[in-house]
Structure 1
Amino acid sequence: MFAILVLFVVSFADVTLQAEWTYSQQSAWPGVCNAGLGQSPINIMTQEAIVDKHHAHIRGPLIFRGYNDVPLYGSNNGHTVKWSGVADGPAPVLAGGPLRGNYTFLQFHFHWLSEHAIDGMKYPLEVHMVHIKTGLTLDEALARADGLAVIGVFFLMHRGYGSDRALEEIIPMMPYIVNSSQNNTEPRRIDITRLLSNEPQSYYTYHGSLTTPMCQEVVTWIVMDKPIYISPDQYALFTKVDVGGDYNYRSLQPRNNRVVYRSIASCASIMAPTLPGTLISLFSCLSTSLAAGVNKGVGAFLNIKRKIFGTPAKNCVKAK
């Protein structure tokens, strides 16, 4: 019954806000979107992220339960395409890492280009897996600093073998939700683990907000730093989706002295976007940095050079 209530309320919230904001007018977003000091997404600077080697914040490995076979239906809410759990279906549960308690999976959706950036660089696509603290209603979760947990995973474009595996279960559903006026798809059983990084214990985490109105600052973000692959043909399908414009990502927000932690497993080099993805991302970084006045490092040419030509393993700033 709880799962049914939560899914109903979340769907209702999507409908009520659908026509009230656009990505082209982010300065007019309601709620705390333009007043909050803990907003998302942010530019994650690898050299400034802290490895919590004493496990004061990241107290153990992330735990994923029930992600392998989940009945989900696809929809287009006018801002993104998303896949939500059916009312009576089993709900995956996330725990461990920086989380205190269990979090129940609600839905995953996509942003193109990526919303978060690593050292000033964006990726072609980012998926967000939204979870609510188990046992809370949506209203209760939106009133608590730890009410939601969202996993972010980046995608690289690649033409090689296996580059279509991550999305091959949902791509057949895309034509039915290209337009926001189309009905939801029929439920289909999805292996959500395909959307996780191949190294799911390698990530950054920080406290932030929803990246859509009302931008409540109630999210524990877990941003995996090892991306997965998407084929150019698959990516082309996302660019045809009706989201009210050519893109659906929020501008980068100031970090405002928030601490970004990184897992011990993340102390390694970051995979770079492909050249086409890098060129797209460069344009995005330049435009969003001018518009949002984000923190240092965004679009820096040294970071771009490192992303194109690679970089050795990064030194980690460790918590004392």
Structure 2
Amino acid sequence: MKTNLGLCITLISLLESVYGTTWSEWWKYADGISGPEFWGLLNLEWTICTKGKRQSPVNIEPKRLVYDPYMKNIHIDQAHVGGWLLNNGHDIKFKIDDPAKPNSINITKGPLSYMYRVIDITIHFGSSDDLGSDHTIEGKSFPAEIQLTAFNSDIYANFTSAEVSPNGLTVIGILVQINEESTNREFEKLAQEFKRVKYKGNEVRVEDLSLHDLMPETYSFMTYEGSLTKPGCHETVTWVIMNRPIYISREHLESLRQAMTGDEENPNDPMANNNRPTMSLNRRTIRTNINFADPRPGCTMKKNLTYHANFPVLRSSISSDSYS
């Protein structure tokens, strides 16, 4: 095994020197020598991918959540932004225009002690309806997960500095479910352009996007300390997983599934299943602002956890966490 691995590293280094291939281009989500199992073995700068104890994503078990009464609602600025929807060969991503501009989008409160400035949105999705999300709920995966990535702008000057530093990043995870039609207008703005970013290197301009309105209609969430879900797996992320999915149409999901990891001349493989397998929790605590035992005074509906074990796909069977 060690001999074969050493041979692979030598070969990859040779390819890099001859063809200009870099580690950032070479890794994949799929199984094989470039897949998640080997990220931390093939590049010494990514060792934490293999040896880290706070890796992401994780499987969330509702019965093991710890209620934290001191956490406030998560806050996202309501400004609208423009940017580029693009295919980078690994993910479909929306990159926001210079986040230092006056209309930058900031995330505060919730489990966060600092202000975090959003830089991009990443979409993970599967080839079938039971695959796709990074995070799982009691072992069950969703067909997609949308992630808003932000860096700590109170302490660090940019994302590059923040991603390798303590309290550097936060990522908001929005799980996605299928409905007869999409119910989120902000997602629609992205979805109508998916066919134009089918191949690596494709990009298209998107204007007037509200990240606040992209969020599901809930203030409840789960949170834990983890890592990026791609190389180099830096353990600098405060994860926030919202306690309600957004709903997209099958048509839009199928448009995503047409995306390829290569360019138009060499399409390579479908991008679908661009999610990392769940990692061990390693005694970490997943906290929540959901108080299961104490509904708010005057309410007729107890505040519930939306995600339950063996949850059905149908929207009508998912419980509500809203109040009267």
Partner of 2:128: none
State whether structure 2 residue 259 is matched by structure 1 residue 241: yes
The amino acid that maps onto 2:133 is S
Rate the CA distance shift 1:149–1:312 in 2: closer, same or farther, 3 A.
closer
Q: Corresponding residue for 2:38?
A: 28
* Offset of residue 20 of structure 1: 2.2
Tell me, yes or no, if the aligned pair for 1:98 and 1:205 is still in contact at 8 Å. Answer: yes
Matched with 2:93 is 82
Q: How far did residue 308 of structure 1 move?
A: 6.1
- Percent identity between the two aligned chains: 24
Conserved 8 A contact 2:290-2:305: no
| Partner SS for 1:167 | helix
Looking at structure 2, the residues matched to 64 and 121 of structure 1 have their Cα atoms a distance apart, in angstroms, of: 28
Task: Pick the aligned partner of 2:115 from 76, 84, 102.
Answer: 102
Gaps of 5+ in 2: 1-20, 41-45, 126-131, 262-268, 293-302
**Against the structure 1 CA distance between its residues 178 and 311, is the aligned structure 2 distance closer, same or farther, given a 3 Å change threshold?**
closer
| Structure 2 counterparts to residues 39-54 of structure 1, below 5 A | 39-53=55-69
SS in 2 for 1:34: helix
Aligned residues of 1:21 and 1:28 also touching (Cα < 8 A): no
Q: Which moved more, 1:185-194 or 1:121-130?
A: 185-194
Q: Which residue of 2 aligns with 1:252?
A: 278
Length, aligned pairs only = 261
Match of 2:133 among 111, 114, 126: 114
> Which residues of 2 match residues 292-311 of structure 1 at below 5 A?
303-304=309-310, 306-307=311-312
Residue 170 of structure 1 aligns to a residue whose secondary structure is helix
- Tell me the TM-score normalised to structure 2 length: 0.74
The reply to whether residue 144 of structure 1 matches residue 165 of structure 2 is yes
Alignment of 1:124-139 (within 5 A): 124-135=143-154, 136=156, 137-139=158-160
From 21, 25, 40, the counterpart of 1:19:
25
Q: Residue 282 of structure 1 aligns with which residue?
A: none
Instruction: Decide whether aligned partners of structure 1 residues 187 and 238 sit closer, same or farther in structure 2, where only a CA change above 3 A counts.
Output: closer
Q: Report the residue type matching 1:50 in the other structure.
A: V
Q: 1:308 to 1:20 in 2, by over 3 A?
A: closer
Give unmatched runs, 5+ long, in structure 1: 1-14, 273-302, 315-320
Is this contact kept in 2: 1:164–1:231, CA < 8 A? no
The one of 192, 199, 205 equivalent to 1:172 is 192
Instruction: List per-residue Cα deviations over 1:68-109 (Å, max 9, x = no partner).
Output: 411121111111111111127421011001101100010001
Cα 1:141–1:16 change in 2 (3 A) is: farther
Q: Which amino acid aligns with 1:51?
A: Y
Letter of the structure 2 residue corresponding to residue 208 of structure 1? G
Superimposed CA distance per residue, residues 12-37 of structure 1 (whole angstroms, 9 cap, x where no aligned partner): xxx96542201122111141111111
Mapped contact 1:205–1:261 kept (Cα < 8 A): yes
**Other-structure match for 1:268:** 304
User: What SS class does the counterpart of residue 131 from structure 1 fall into?
Assistant: strand
Partner of 1:291: none
1:65 counterpart (70, 73, 77): 77
Given the superposition, is the C-alpha separation of residues 173 and 313 from structure 1 closer, same or farther in structure 2, using an over 3 Å criterion? closer
1:214 aligns with 2:232: yes
When normalised by structure 1's length, the TM-score is 0.75
Larger Rg: 2
Q: Which runs of 4+ in 1 moved over 6 A?
A: 311-314
CA RMSD of aligned residues (A): 2.4
